[in-house]
Amino acid sequence: MNHNTRGEPMRLLIHSAKQIVQVTSGREKVLKGAQMKNIKILHAKPGDGLSIVINRLGDIEAVGFDTEISAKFRTNVFERRVDASDQCVLPGFVDAHTHPIWAGDRVHEFRMKLAGASYMDIHNAGGGIHYTVEHTKRASEETLFRSLRDRLLRMTKAGTTVAECKSGYGLNADTELKMLRVLERAKRELTFVDISITFCGAHAIPKEMTEETATKAIINDQLPAIARAIRLGEISVDNIDVFCEKGVFELESTKRILEAGKTMGLRVNFHADEIYPLGGAEMGASIGAEVMSHLEKISDKAIHEMAKYEGIAVVLPTTAYILKLESPPVRKMIDANVPIALGSDFNPNAFCLAMPMVMHMACILFKMSLEEALVASTINAAASLGMSETHGSIEVGKKGDLVLVDVPTWEHLVYQFGEHDHLIQMVIKDGLVAYDKS
């Protein structure tokens, strides 16, 4: 308990829990290598459960046994008390990679893929991202906001309290700005989730352009328009992304766009080496990219380089599964001390919003351990967004973002595939109830 909080009203007391999965307890900002296996867990003692106190700023004030906490806080009034008997408490999940704002689903392409078409076949024939762009261009801001809110709420019900959210279905300044305004509105209005906003105008080459003209349009038209809107306080942008892939934005164009974003103060967080081993991650490492996603085809050299400067690898099991891609070499990356984070990659190609399912798939497809999958969905995912000082673990001083789960031990949330709706009882965001199953 911090000094001078004696007697102050507190926002929330959670008590009687049987496990608190803190993940970290020493203010670690990111975990790598063998550290990803060693998570911090508190266990209730016979007759003494576990408590968490959250103050009126929404920050964690104390974590400990019920008896200690009730003695320390005997003079404090709690705005709300939650009895977590028989429940395990985990940090809110951080989804490190999502494309949640778009109109026009692609269920027809799911059918085409089942019949044998590849992702790039569909993309090159004008479908895929291009199909979603056409629908997103025509959608109003209000329509986009409503569907975004609904998707984010569904994520939160599955335990997500922080999500990285990309634009990228505009491909021109007007529609990209429209998407970024909607994301900004969500960031300001929605209290159940924190959002890290990513500009992904380089998500595909518009049909009427070449790679070169599209690159110039992003650097000379979209980025300046975004910088202007940021200056006017209309939007905020945290990260810059490019779909760096053979036949989309290749190495040279990707580098130019990322460097232009970097000059604007954006964090570099881009799609690399997903389908073809283009060398995207080597290029990313050469410019010190904070984060690279996918990495199915990452080279050994890039793994080595990322480990040297602690570049974070965001791996995406839903996409690898749906597109039947070879898995990224996650074990090799962990052994080399590259910090790994997980994302749902929610998008019209990979319609999955639930981090418990992502963790399960990461264990099976990418051979991650349960602990590694949890670290990758909490502290490391927060680190990928530059937010791990405040999010991603249950520690005093951090944000009160929690998931309360009715399971014998926390591992059940990952083990019981697809059962998160049944198991998650409550999600807390900044000490307020964001979702209550009862």
Binding mask 1-30 for ligand NIG (x = CB under 6 A): ------------------------------
Q: Which residues pair with 195 in a beta bridge?
A: 163
The residue among 99 and 420 lying less far from ligand NIG, judged by its C-beta, is 99
C-alpha radius of gyration, the chain, whole number: 22
To ligand NIG, the closest distance from the beta carbon of 315 in angstroms equals 11
Pairing state of beta strands 194-202 and 160-166? parallel
Which one-letter amino acid corresponds to residue 265? G
Residue number closest to ligand NIG, CB atom: 349
Q: Within the chain, what is the greatest distance between any pair of CA atoms?
A: 69
Residue 319: how many other CB atoms lie within 10 Å: 22
Q: Give the tokens for residue 100.
A: 């949640």
How far apart (Å, rounded) are the C-alpha atoms in residues 98 and 287? 23
Q: Give the orientation angle of helix 173-189 with respect to helix 129-138, to 10 degrees.
A: 70
The residue among 276 and 415 lying less far from ligand NIG, judged by its C-beta, is 276
Cα dist from 219 to 169, 223, 232, 237, 238, whole Å:
17, 6, 19, 16, 17
Q: With contact defined as beta carbons under 8 Å apart, do 36 and 335 qualify?
A: no
The residue among 101 and 226 lying less far from ligand NIG, judged by its C-beta, is 101
The residue among 349 and 425 lying less far from ligand NIG, judged by its C-beta, is 349
- Tell me phi and psi for residue 202, to 5 degrees: -95, 60
The residue among 113 and 262 lying less far from ligand NIG, judged by its C-beta, is 113
Binding mask 344-373 for ligand NIG (x = CB under 6 A): -x-xxxx-----------------------
Q: Which residues pair with 13 in a beta bridge?
A: 53, 81
Q: With contact defined as beta carbons under 8 Å apart, do 259 and 231 qualify?
A: no
| Count of residues in contact with ligand NIG, rule CB under 6 A | 13
The residue among 106 and 267 lying less far from ligand NIG, judged by its C-beta, is 106
Q: Contact with ligand NIG (CB under 6 A): which of 274, 290, 401, 411?
A: 274
Interface residues for ligand NIG in 76-135 (CB under 6 A)? 99, 128-129, 132
Stretch that binds ligand NIG, among 19-27, 170-178, 343-351, 365-373 (CB under 6 A): 343-351
The residue among 128 and 329 lying less far from ligand NIG, judged by its C-beta, is 128
The residue among 84 and 122 lying less far from ligand NIG, judged by its C-beta, is 122
271 binds ligand NIG (CB under 6 A): yes
Interface residues for ligand NIG in 284-323 (CB under 6 A)? 319
Q: Give the tokens for residue 3.
A: 């000094």
Interface residues for ligand NIG in 397-416 (CB under 6 A)? none
- Tell me phi and psi for residue 382, to 5 degrees: -60, -40
Binding mask 213-252 for ligand NIG (x = CB under 6 A): ------------------------------x---------
Question: Which of 311, 343, 320, 390 has the alpha carbon at shortest distance from 32?
Answer: 311
- Which residues contribute to the site for ligand NIG (CB under 6 A)? 99, 128-129, 132, 243, 271, 274, 319, 345, 347-350
